[in-house]
A and B are shown apart, each in its own frame.
Chain A
Amino acid sequence: MSASAAARDLAALETIDLRKTYSNGVQALKGVSLRVAPGDFFALLGPNGAGKSTLIGILSSLVNPTSGDARVFGISIHNDRGGVMRQIGLVPQEINFNQFETPFEICVNVAGFYGIPRRIATQRAEKYLNELRIWDKAHQPTRMMSGGMKRRLMIARAMMNEPRLLILDEPTAGVDIEIRRSMWQFITGINRAGTTVILTTHYLEEAEQLCRNIAIIDHGAIVENTAMRTLLGKLDVETFVLDIRGSCDALPDVPGVKLTCLDAHTLEAEMSKQHDLNSLFAMLSARGITVTSMRNKTNRLEELFVRLVEQSSSGSKVAA
């Protein structure tokens, strides 16, 4: 195998039976094995307390693993912590910069911690603060910035070492939709340019739209790890909410579709994925009901997520 082929085969992230038990006895990770391919946009999802932040903490050297290993582009956290850190950019869940410093100072200092000379650091700070549209606040103390600006600053800061693996731990929490979209635009661009992205988020529609592969973690164990498309393909039933014109009293009996009248102008249709929508519309139309608009009741990924977590929880209870 050629050297370049070998480099391509190296996983951006590989965790091997990673375990973490905190001093209070809580088992946060129970043998997590995961592989993220280089260049991937990977979703790591799980309910609160599932172990996501512990896993990210181990990767970013903020949490010591109890056992197991994690390798970033082939470098083990046990053998070369510094080497791993050089590959990673971290956007943590909580604001963790000095609120008395300016965004420019924060970015340049963090670059310095990575050994990047000041001349290059100032160029990068200007570049990323500009790209994330906070350059006009670059020399103001960060405590005067809004929540959305602080979130964007954390992304700019994580980019200072131009990482090969960018880890985003709920980066859009509490951010308005406009800023959230601009952040995703930036991160998608970074991913297209070759940076591997691992994302945790509670906005599942974002994960569905952006990520190509997904792992769901619950109670410290991976309960699903597959391609996003494969996972979504497992969803056999979908529920739609239809806004209608006409009387809800005269609902047709459509085989394979469960219709429920939510109010005078709203109808809920639960149907298998094999069932086509045309026949439903035709039957509704025959009863004088016009569908004016339609939407999914819940996001598809959200529906799967809830099911998997519920299954995992009931399994845990049985095991316990």
Chain B
Amino acid sequence: MNDMRTDAAINAGARDFSVARANAVALYTITRREMRRMLRIWTQTLIPPAITMTLYFVIFGTLIGRRIGTIEGGFTYMQYIVPGLVMMSIINNCYSNITSSFFGSKFGRYVEELLASPMPSWVVLAGYVAGAVLRGLLVGIIVLGIALLFTSLRLAHPLVAVTTVLLGATIFSLAGFINAMFAKKFDDIAIVPTFVLTPLTYLGGVFYSVNMLGEPWHAISLVNPILYMVNAFRYGILGVGDVPLWVAYVVMCAFVAVLGTIALTLLHRGVGLRS
């Protein structure tokens, strides 16, 4: 009897291990496919943010920034806006990567390759999010590299900078995934970036400190989740920020948990995918 139990336990253990290994292979496959897609169309994925951000640095950082002088903590305006612009490009690229890729797979029906496979929903979600986060990170590194051509920066709190980037990238990858699940046409994946993401980013303290705002604008700004990401990242790079760090982490972790749960539930139910 004991031997039988032992055998059953060994078999169950072996099965769990092989399922875990299969999931790891599947996760790697989706992530790799996403990376290859991103690199295959590098002129659409990597070059545009580099050009856009170079223009921001030249116009806002160098030309206008020179007249502004120093801002909070004695940093030049150029130094002040770099973290926000890096975060902005990461957020935008994570979002657009996952919406275009996942909606494209729905539109071309090759999402059925994933749905008809034994992969659990969380592996599909994690693979797409990993691909989007990696694109965000790559774009972030490129933009940071360009920024260093215009100004010098010191990394005040590396761990804060890295965790903020990862959390921010994950949040907007999850949000993009949810958008792509509901989208029925290409217009549906353009609406949110145009009417929600861009205004929130511009009003999220990328170009200014929210402490400069009077009431009620200061209070309204605190509802904007991007404010917490930009300021936490600014704290990681420059050591200054408008919001307490712990509040920023609580907000970001809450968004990851809520959006992750929604995305996973939608995917599991097959909303917009299964009839």
Contacts and interface: CB of A to CB of B under 8 A. Distances in A.
Interface residues of B, number: 32
Interface SS of chain B: helix
Interface in B23-38: 23-26, 28-30, 32-33, 36-37
Interface in A81-132: 81-86, 88, 90, 92, 94-100, 105, 109-110, 112-118
A299 interface: no
A22 interface: yes
B105 A113 contact: no
A85 B117 contact: yes
B119 interface: yes
A61 B105 CA distance: 17
Interface string A61-88: 1111000000000000000011111101
Contacts of A114: 22, 26, 117-118
Nearest to B41: A100
A115 B21 contact: yes
A82 B119 contact: yes
A57 B113 CA distance: 13
Contacts of B18: 115
Contacts of B115: 60-62
Contact of B109 (A22, A63, A94, A110): A94
B67 interface: no
Contacts of A92: 112
Contact of B26 (A64, A96, A112): A112
Contacts of A105: 33, 36
A62 B120 contact: no
Contacts of A94: 109
A60 B105 contact: no
Nearest to A23: B275
Contacts of B118: 81-86, 113-115
A109 B113 contact: yes
Interface in B103-121: 105, 108-110, 112-120
A177 to B, nearest CB: 27
Contacts of A100: 37, 40
Contact of B25 (A63, A90, A112): A112
Contacts of B30: 112-113
B274 interface: yes
A88 to B, nearest CB: 7
A109 B45 CA distance: 22
Given A60-B112, A84-B118, A100-B37, 7 more contacts: A62-B275, A86-B118, A98-B105, A109-B33, A113-B30, A115-B23, A115-B25
5 contacts: A100-B37, A113-B26, A113-B117, A115-B18, A157-B113
Interface of B: 18-19, 21-26, 28-30, 32-33, 36-37, 40, 105, 108-110, 112-120, 270, 274-275
